[in-house]
Structure 1
Amino acid sequence: MRPSPLPAVYSRLLGLMAWGVVSVNASCAPLPESEAEALGSSVSAVTGGNILFVGNSFTHGNEEPAYSYNKAAVTDTNGSGVGGIPGIFKKLTTQAGLSFNVSLETASGQSLAWHYGNRAAIIGQATWNTVVLQEQSTTPLPTARGGSPSGFTNAARDLRSLVLSKNPAANLFLYETWASPTSVGTQGYPSGTPGLQAMQTDLRDAYFKASRELGFTGVARVGDGFLRAVDQDLADPNPADGISAGMFNLWSAQDSRHSSRYGSYLSAAVLFAKITQLDPRSLATGTGSAAAGLGISAADASNMHRIAYEIVALPDPVVARTRLPVTRATFTGAVTAGTPVSITGGAQLASLTTEEGTFTNVVGATASGITGTNTPSSLGTVPANVNAAASGLGANDGANNVGAGNFQFGTGFSARTRFFIVESTLASAAVGDPTTVTLINVSNQTVGTYSLSLGESDFTATAAGNTSASLATLNYTGGVASVTGTPAGSVKSKLGAVSFSLADLGVSDVASVSGATGLRISSSTLDPNVVGLYTVP
């Protein structure tokens, strides 16, 4: 029996049926109208053609029976002779009456950047009308968890551009991988189910952020399917202490990291549902089916079909928030090396580093209308006024207790814009003061109701009395006495910073703030040195 289509693709499938491309068993009724309204999807159905899976052992499988499954029916472009999850996917599409030519380009342990650098000739072929990209399992995680989010995004961008340069009409999906008991431990997450949930949240955020920013067709939420099986007490979250009665193990018994036959089957079921937009709950589970071929019971297979359906029916999650502390900065000018560096004269901010990467395309804002309770401080000559103290990229002076001020960039913003505030504070204190940020237009008028509240925890982590993690230190020699010290220049200050995006301000539609050109910053204690922006790739 052919699976029913997911709701959003009814019209597409009816068109294919009219042309004879797709035939549907008349006994398989579409979803009820009420269910269709609740479970709509914006992804168009892909019901055939040449599909390429790019990834590593999370795609080709790490053990039998998944590793070799259905290998004769798929093309291993590297000649390794594996079937893996693409082989299972092929079988599921055959069960559904679809015609896909399935190929895989996989290499154990490798990242998308490696595939781009070493397999571009295979991936960059006009023949592919659908390409699925699976990143190395920890690369999308935050840098604090051993990942490289910018490396993931850059590689996904490069591969997407490569595919579309050969076939502009190609569909491109990201294959979201799973948290595992082993990875939770090695990447520093809590143990047990809380760790699986936390790691999966980070993976989900990374994949959907990349998908939205880069314009992918969609994300196959395989890892979310794993977590749902755990949450529904179908899969054992801690196989190390034995598999609980009535449960199965999603992960390999060899390493609790790769997928078992169950994890591989669930992966293929989610990919099938996402790409074809057909209801996997109608897939066969008996003799001759993919489930039977892998030694999976009809009951377990049916539960995984249901989970795949539920995962694909979920609305896409909200883009991950990007309010991030700045962990490193570089400066040009009068700077003395050290940990951290010391600003000894006129200096300019040159780069900032957050979990998203290191950025050199920093632009400083022009300040106006600053009010505050203290006069500006500087290393050397006192700035003429508070506006001069907080304009541009000068890191050697700052406005004390800003009160309120407008910071203009003279340009529009996008989802890739990242704003930042570099603040100075005494070495005896912690960086970060309660601050409200609001969007403004060229006339310094508030745009919409978008605002953001920042606190100490959002800035570079620098505890009171400790300068080791700060971005730089400096000794002001001009300005307010409590900052410069007596004699002037005897009190040490330090710099910290925070970055944030339009999404952090609550903007879900960039077009709705097309008139915004700057920020208003309000705080009774913030001492900004630089307010600026940069753009992530």
Structure 2
Amino acid sequence: MRPSPLPAVYSHVVGLMAWGVLALNASCAPLPEPGPEDLGSSIAPVTGGTILFVGNSFTHGNEEPAYSYNKAAVTDTNGSGVGGIPGIFKKLTTQAGLSFNVSLETASGQGLGWHYANRPAIIGQATWNTVVLQEQSTTPLPTARGGSPTAFTDGARNLRSLVLSKNPAANLFLYETWASPASVSAQGYPAGTPGLQAMQTDLRDAYFKASRELGFTGVARVGDGYLRAVDQNLADPNPADGISAGMFNLWSASDSRHSSKYGSYLSAAVLFAKITQLDPRALATGPGSAAADLGISATEAGNLHRIAYEIAALPDPVVTVRTRLPVTGATFTGAVTAGAPVQLTGGAQLASLTTAEGTFTNLVGATASGVTGTNTPSSLGTVPANANAAASGLGAHDGSNNVGSGHFQFGTGFSARTRFFIVESTLASAAVGDPTTVTLISASNQAVGTYSLSLGESDFTATAAGNTAASLAALNYTGGVASVTGTPAGSAKSKLGAVSFSLADLGVTDLTSVSAATGLRISSSTLDPNVIGLYTVP
């Protein structure tokens, strides 16, 4: 059945063909042109010439049959003799009747900065009409997730300038990589599909932000294609427990991070659709096709073609400026002993917080008391009347208090300049931060819309296990369960860390949609919060 076209205008038709007959070397119809509201994402089709792919194993492939696929038809500029995703791309363009001279410059495990430093003679050739850049898979992520956004931007900027200095008319595309079960775990995202979604959102934002700021031709949303396959129940999001019937595995069975043959084929199909602006649904799937060569069935290939079409036809997303940041400093008043970090010895009040955005003293907050899971509540601050109405105040207590689930009301509306924060305590032998879900709530403690945020250990103050020097404060629990207070009570060394975040991090793009929000719901089976609150940046 022919898929329904997206609501857009076709200005021309090239090589019309019957949708039910997909023959080799048949011309593909062009993708729908964007409507008036999407003109910012319109690009001119590239239907031939010399094209260079720059990247690592996410480009050259990590295993057979993709690794050496079609290697005789492409040029490996490093002489490694691989075909990979560029080899699949070459075959797809041949099937579509196009003439591309395809080359690749790849090095396993390396990022764009490495390629700029070590392969400028290859990349900086005037011969390239089109260049595709793929960054190391975690570098574009936020620093709290182990990434280095600055390194990504610098590498992309330098390579773009190098290419354009030799050929000012060259097209430059960024190749957006994918979230994977292994990377989600390693980078501190929640498990399962929520983690894949959260990591892909961070990758998408990073690639489109770089594309817009640096002036790239466009972004091939390969990683978004992976996520769409998961969302449509075509790809199994958790291959470790076996592949569900009727699904395939986008990731390598050996490491759940690199692409499988399905992932490599989808990558090439998305690149084909984005670069050529032709409809991949018209690509062949029978004998002699790239899909058949790789052992991908006609049904599976048809679904991958459709996903590539849907992804390439999307308008560019609105990039949200995210401000989820670890808290790097804090000051306290009250029972405080100076040191590095300071020691809280009794009733203390949080006076300021420092993040990459500055130091802030206009704090409004609630002491996390009486909102408990399995631990006995204990606090030096005012105890709230019940678990749904945390006490006003900024008392940093020294009693153990796992949150379970609690509502924290601030009695005020929020703006784009609002920054929320959570100050969390843990034993000195552990790392600060636990899996936590934050949700906007109204004054009656009801969720506002579907806005929420998943936090992990890496979002909080970066304090290595056993290292109290990088924490915000040190304290000894004097109340709570014996396993964390010690014997006698107060003998177990503990520490504080914190995280700050904004409405944008919660997914809010329209402030009017959250006008009813006055508080936060914090849900975690292990988080031991001291203070939850907010402040306003200038």
Whether TM exceeds 0.5 here: the answer is: yes
Q: Deviations over 1:188-242 (max 9, x none)?
A: 2222222211211121121112112222111111111111111111111121222
Give the alignment of 1:297-336 within 5 angstroms.
297-325=297-325, 327-328=327-328
SS in 2 for 1:286: coil
Name structure 1 gaps, 5 residues minimum.
15-22, 330-336, 342-351, 355-361, 365-394, 403-424, 439-449, 472-493, 509-524, 533-537
Is the counterpart of residue 150 in structure 1 residue 150 in structure 2? yes
Contact 2:8 2:34 in 1 (8 A): no
Distance 1:328 1:39, change over 3 A: closer
TM-fit CA distance, 1:128 = 1.1
Aligned equivalents of 2:229, 2:394: Cα separation in 1: 51
RMSD (CA atoms):
4.4
Contact 1:9 1:277 in 2 (8 A): no
Distance 1:151 1:435, change over 3 A: farther
Aligned equivalents of 1:7, 1:121: Cα separation in 2: 45
Aligned to 1:454: 419
Contact 2:46 2:277 in 1 (8 A): yes
Contact 2:420 2:534 in 1 (8 A): no
Aligned equivalents of 1:272, 1:150: Cα separation in 2: 29
TM-fit CA distance, 1:183 = 1.3
Is the counterpart of residue 93 in structure 1 residue 93 in structure 2? yes
Q: Deviations over 1:274-320 (max 9, x none)?
A: 11111100111111111111111111000000000111112222112
Contact 2:30 2:278 in 1 (8 A): no
Aligned equivalents of 1:68, 1:163: Cα separation in 2: 27
Q: Deviations over 1:437-462 (max 9, x none)?
A: 99xxxxxxxxxxx9633344599978
Q: Deviations over 1:256-290 (max 9, x none)?
A: 11111111000000000011111100111111111
Aligned equivalents of 1:275, 1:242: Cα separation in 2: 35
SS in 2 for 1:195: helix
Aligned equivalents of 1:247, 1:507: Cα separation in 2: 34
Q: Deviations over 1:121-163 (max 9, x none)?
A: 1111111111111111111112222111111111111111111
Aligned to 1:118: 118
Contact 2:419 2:534 in 1 (8 A): no
Among 15, 20, 24, the residue aligned to 2:15: 24
Contact 2:52 2:102 in 1 (8 A): yes
Aligned to 1:369: none
SS in 1 for 2:89: helix
1:234 maps to a residue whose letter is: L
1:244 maps to a residue whose letter is: S
Q: Deviations over 1:313-370 (max 9, x none)?
A: 12222112232436448xxxxxxx97469xxxxxxxxxx974xxxxxxx9x9xxxxxx
Aligned equivalents of 1:261, 1:293: Cα separation in 2: 10
Aligned equivalents of 1:467, 1:500: Cα separation in 2: 27
Aligned to 2:52: 52
Aligned to 1:160: 160
2:188 maps to a residue whose letter is: G
Distance 1:498 1:226, change over 3 A: closer
Contact 1:6 1:278 in 2 (8 A): no
2:272 maps to a residue whose letter is: F
Aligned to 1:233: 233
Aligned to 1:71: 71
Aligned equivalents of 2:305, 2:229: Cα separation in 1: 11
Q: Deviations over 1:81-103 (max 9, x none)?
A: 10000000011011111111111
Q: Deviations over 1:371-403 (max 9, x none)?
A: xxxxxxxxxxxxxxxxxxxxxxxx9xx99899x
Contact 1:56 1:106 in 2 (8 A): yes
Contact 1:435 1:453 in 2 (8 A): no
2:195 maps to a residue whose letter is: G
SS in 2 for 1:141: coil
Aligned to 2:255: 255
Aligned to 1:194: 194
2:106 maps to a residue whose letter is: T
Aligned to 2:401: none
Report the TM-score, using the length of structure 1 for normalisation: 0.61
Give the alignment of 1:41-440 within 5 angstroms.
41-325=41-325, 327-328=327-328, 339=340, 354=356
Aligned equivalents of 1:52, 1:498: Cα separation in 2: 41
Aligned equivalents of 2:355, 2:209: Cα separation in 1: 19
SS in 2 for 1:151: helix
2:159 maps to a residue whose letter is: L
1:128 maps to a residue whose letter is: W
Aligned equivalents of 1:458, 1:158: Cα separation in 2: 39
Distance 1:7 1:88, change over 3 A: farther
Aligned equivalents of 1:94, 1:157: Cα separation in 2: 31
Distance 1:32 1:251, change over 3 A: closer
Report the TM-score, using the length of structure 2 for normalisation: 0.61
